Structure 1
Amino acid sequence: MLNFLFSIFFMVFMLFFRSGWELVLNFFFVLFFIFFFTKSLGLGLMDMGSGLSVDMYGYMLISLCFWIFPLMMLASLTMSNYGSYNKLFVFMVVFLLLVLYLVFSCQDLMLFYISFEASLIPIFIMVFGWGYQPERLQAGLYMLFYTLMASMPLLLLILYNVGVSQSGDFFMLGKLSEEKNFYVYIYFVMAFLVKLPVFFFHLWLPKAHVEAPVSGSMVLAAILLKLGGYGLFKVIGLVVHEQVSAVWLWPVFGLFGSGVLGVLSIRQFDMKALIAYSSVVHMGMVMSGLMSMSLVGISGAFIVMVGHGLCSSGLFCLVNVIYERIGSRSILLGSGMLMLMPSMALWWFLLLSSNMSAPPSLNLLGEINLMISIVGMSFYMMIFLSMILFFSGGYNLYLYSSVQHGKTFWGSVSFSCGRLSEYHLFFLHWVPLNYMILCGYVFSYLCSLSKI
């Protein structure tokens, strides 16, 4: 599977052609279909050579990367007219995909950390270079320092492990996994909690989403948040003694934060900020499922991560459609869209219903698995889950009713009902989100047979 790595690398040379944007866009789709349909999922590792291998969880997230990245470029077609800067943008996209491919496939701790942190560089440049407001500088610095400061203890632990065990492999962690030290456990987990992010560590995310371009918001919500969940999955088994003793702490922490942020989401007036807070609500449940260390919880967490990646990415595209026409993300100024863009209201309904885990979306299957694992730890968790489900439906209905109904902003009545490329983009988000539930059942069955 190193051929995929080299294929991504040589996509950079396509930029020298006159139609480099279109070549890269089409090649992304080709890579997805080759990767998705020619590599069997299996129950074990797929060896790639050179210390790289992919398990079923990495396989899911790499497939998500290959699908989301061409959709990012479709959503940014207006950027292709910006002269030479469009090639810089495509270069950042290709570089980010290369780094993410390494994160989801490497088995070396040091390479994992370097790739994990290198993913900040292209998204940081996207926010700084193609952001909308002057506040993008503050948002970029928030994101940079939050993630870097939380990751420094993880780097020290990795260096210590390499010195003690003379190996940086995930499966050869030496004495570090035997140390029953709560601080070692917290240092391991902290970097991924900030990246996920969960409540108390989430302040950088709404700022980054609000100021990022549509492509930056899509890759942040769909892929980069999943780095935290994937990292948690990789390290929770390393300090299993402390994980078992603190297994009750994380669901309470994650579900309480998700409930509070569900209330805050209903009070938002910025459409992007509301979707960003809803992402933190979902990630709180994902963290609770991962920390349960059960087969059902981990499989449900990964299913929700894939479903949320498709759903939130589509919602940010919908917000961008309104922003390009009225120049504002305000719910008040964007109201009455049912009169101005009646065909677009269908896609708002379909994606927001999927965001609240309505059938047959992939989120429904994942959240059922998460609820089973969380309630299995303590029945009292049902209190938090009920609150989250109630407010999740509340802020999704609030966003739909506020944007589609209400008084029309009459200064924007002259724009069209939408371009064909925009409807195509929403179709490519919604179809896998709702038809992959069949694959989700297969994945849950494979998880029940495999050993985590």
Structure 2
Amino acid sequence: MLKLLMPTMMLIPMLLIIKPAFLFTSFITYTLIIASITSQYLNNPLNMKFHHMNALLGLDLISTPLLILSTWLLPLMAMASQYHLMNEPTTRKRSFLMAATLLQLALIMTFSTMNLMLFYIMFEATLIPTLILITRWGSQTERLNAGTYFMLYTLIGSLPLLIVLLTMYSKNYYMTTLMLPLVNLNLSLTWSNTMMWMACMLAFLVKMPLYGLHLWLPKAHVEAPIAGSMILAGVLLKLGGYGIIRLSPILTPMTKASALPFIILALWGMIMTSIICLRQTDLKSIIAYSSVSHMGLVTAATLIHTPWSILGAMIMMIAHGLTSSLLFCLANTNYERTHTRTLLITRGLQTMLPLMTTWWLLASLSNLALPPTINLFGELLIISALLNWSVFSLILTALTTLLTATYSLYIFVTTQRNKTSKQPMFQPSYTREHLLLTLHLIPLLLLILNPKMLFYT
């Protein structure tokens, strides 16, 4: 793991001393090399055992794909933010890239740690760089309000988890993930144990986010810069699913007894947020609410906690991370030219940006889980697991699938195929933008060809 952590930490002195002319080029090249290093963790089919271990850190089947996704998105964040930072002073450019680097360091530690207390510390540490990105480089004055929502929801939701972890440590004197399956907490169905289970899950359900606890997400997405939206949708929402999967083995009796209302709320929230998407006028707001809808499916799958549902949740998290990041990048390319995100104004762009229409079509089809995309594979596994759990869940999931296809095509048709609004002619798309979108789609296409990289073996 030091082969990954040390190069990432050395990005910080590199950002301080490098010449401004080579700042973005060197940063993107360096981080792409780090991302390529992580691909060795997929060498040999993954199994259930930990690998690349030391005293505190280690990777397994659950953390490896999410770690690779985190490192892959950092160079793409820098690539997408070049236009946004073009007129900023060099000092602010360095501080922006430094905040993104610190966020990646926290994410690497979060996904690879085997100690639950360190996991909690790193889980909370991701809040600080993300908050800086939203409140400092957001585009409107509402960004401060969005940052407050983001901070308060995350902190209030995660404080009960800290109390539970300290209680567990006082009883067992160890917090290592390898030892946790051997812990016998004797969780009988009592009021205190139910409250302990809810305290453990609340931090992760807020992060997912569960419908009803999701109000911070659309605000944060709409006000965040493109890099903030990419890392929020791509990785930070997955911390919730990862945490539930990690803690569920020691909370299994209580999960089966207490998860029913949260699963129902997640499934109902999928329909509600999909309907909200059909009524939105802001492009980034639609993509943000679609993230809530997709992560509702992941929430239900992780709470059921069967082998098929966990596998489907993992595939869904990786596919959604790449697809939603791709959609935010496309929305940003429109915003950089039209300076608005209102759908009624940004329409008929096919005549002015014909190549971008192809990317919009591919992204929309991936978002609605068209065969043979990996999104469909994850959804089928989760829907099959939900059907085995309850036959009635098929009604909700089928309706959600229909609504997802509706608003995905609505986005595409509205932005690309309607009559052109009275917009002045603007610059054509850049090679940088096409490279950025290609680097999002390449992993999705490779996973279609070889999905067993995310399978249990």
Instruction: Specify the TM-score bucket, using the shorter chain as the normaliser.
Output: over 0.9
1:337 counterpart SS class: coil
Structure 2 residue aligned with 1:163, among 152, 157, 170? 170
Residue type at the aligned position of 2:59: V
d(CA) in 1 for partners of 2:105 and 2:115?
16
Structure 1 residue aligned with 2:335, among 307, 312, 323? 323
Q: Residue 88 of structure 2 aligns with which residue?
A: 82
> Residues 266 and 395 of structure 1 are in contact (CA less than 8 Å); yes or no, is this contact kept in structure 2?
yes
d(CA) in 2 for partners of 1:80 and 1:327?
15
Q: CA deviation at 1:171?
A: 3.8
1:358 counterpart SS class: coil
Q: CA deviation at 1:42?
A: 3.1
Question: Where does 1:204-353 land on structure 2 (aligned, <5 Å)?
Answer: 204-353=216-365
1:56 counterpart SS class: coil
d(CA) in 1 for partners of 2:417 and 2:24?
38
Structure 2 residue aligned with 1:377, among 389, 410, 420? 389
User: What are the ranges of 5 or more consecutive residues in structure 2 without an aligned counterpart?
Assistant: none
d(CA) in 2 for partners of 1:272 and 1:440?
29
Structure 2 residue aligned with 1:188, among 200, 203, 211? 200
1:46 counterpart SS class: coil
> Residues 338 and 346 of structure 2 are in contact (CA less than 8 Å); yes or no, is this contact kept in structure 1?
yes
Q: Residue 10 of structure 2 aligns with which residue?
A: 10
Q: Residue 36 of structure 1 aligns with which residue?
A: 39
RMSD: 1.5
d(CA) in 2 for partners of 1:86 and 1:47?
34
Structure 2 residue aligned with 1:50, among 46, 51, 55? 55
d(CA) in 2 for partners of 1:38 and 1:393?
34
* 1:109-152 CA distance string (max 9 Å, x none): 11100100010101100111100000000000000000100101
1:54 counterpart SS class: coil
Structure 2 residue aligned with 1:179, among 187, 191, 197? 187
TM-score (norm 2): 0.94
1:116 counterpart SS class: helix
Residue type at the aligned position of 2:448: I
Q: CA deviation at 1:80?
A: 5.0
Question: Where does 1:66-105 land on structure 2 (aligned, <5 Å)?
Answer: 66-78=71-83, 79-83=85-89, 84-105=91-112
* 1:54-84 CA distance string (max 9 Å, x none): 1012110111011111111110112155221
d(CA) in 2 for partners of 1:4 and 1:425?
23
Residue type at the aligned position of 2:332: N
1:42 counterpart SS class: coil
User: What are the ranges of 5 or more consecutive residues in structure 1 without an aligned counterpart?
Assistant: none
Q: Residue 367 of structure 1 aligns with which residue?
A: 379
Q: CA deviation at 1:98?
A: 0.4
Q: CA deviation at 1:269?
A: 0.3
Q: Residue 59 of structure 1 aligns with which residue?
A: 64
Q: Residue 138 of structure 1 aligns with which residue?
A: 145
d(CA) in 2 for partners of 1:116 and 1:276?
21
Cα distance, 1:75–1:186 mapped onto 2, change above 3 Å: same
Residue type at the aligned position of 1:128: T
d(CA) in 2 for partners of 1:327 and 1:216?
18
* 1:329-367 CA distance string (max 9 Å, x none): 100110111122121111101001000001222101111
Structure 2 residue aligned with 1:21, among 24, 39, 50? 24
Structure 2 residue aligned with 1:398, among 410, 417, 425? 410
Cα distance, 1:87–1:176 mapped onto 2, change above 3 Å: farther
d(CA) in 2 for partners of 1:417 and 1:296?
45
2:155 paired with 1:148? yes
Residue type at the aligned position of 1:283: M
1:48 counterpart SS class: coil
Q: CA deviation at 1:428?
A: 1.1
> Residues 360 and 437 of structure 1 are in contact (CA less than 8 Å); yes or no, is this contact kept in structure 2?
yes
Q: CA deviation at 1:176?
A: 7.3
2:427 paired with 1:426? no
d(CA) in 1 for partners of 2:418 and 2:65?
40
* 1:83-119 CA distance string (max 9 Å, x none): 2100001100110000000000001111100100010
Q: How many residues matched?
A: 445
TM-score (norm 1): 0.95
Residue type at the aligned position of 2:302: L
Provide the identity percentage. Answer: 35
d(CA) in 1 for partners of 2:127 and 2:4?
22
Q: CA deviation at 1:23?
A: 1.8
> Residues 194 and 258 of structure 2 are in contact (CA less than 8 Å); yes or no, is this contact kept in structure 1?
no
Residue type at the aligned position of 2:146: A
Q: CA deviation at 1:425?
A: 1.0
> Residues 221 and 312 of structure 1 are in contact (CA less than 8 Å); yes or no, is this contact kept in structure 2?
yes
Task: Give 4+ residue runs of structure 1 displaced > 6 Å after superposition.
Answer: none
Q: CA deviation at 1:198?
A: 1.4
d(CA) in 1 for partners of 2:41 and 2:130?
30
2:288 counterpart SS class: helix
d(CA) in 2 for partners of 1:103 and 1:147?
16
Residue type at the aligned position of 2:18: F
Q: CA deviation at 1:260?
A: 0.9
> Residues 169 and 175 of structure 2 are in contact (CA less than 8 Å); yes or no, is this contact kept in structure 1?
yes
Q: CA deviation at 1:13?
A: 1.3
d(CA) in 1 for partners of 2:426 and 2:165?
54
Residue type at the aligned position of 2:9: F
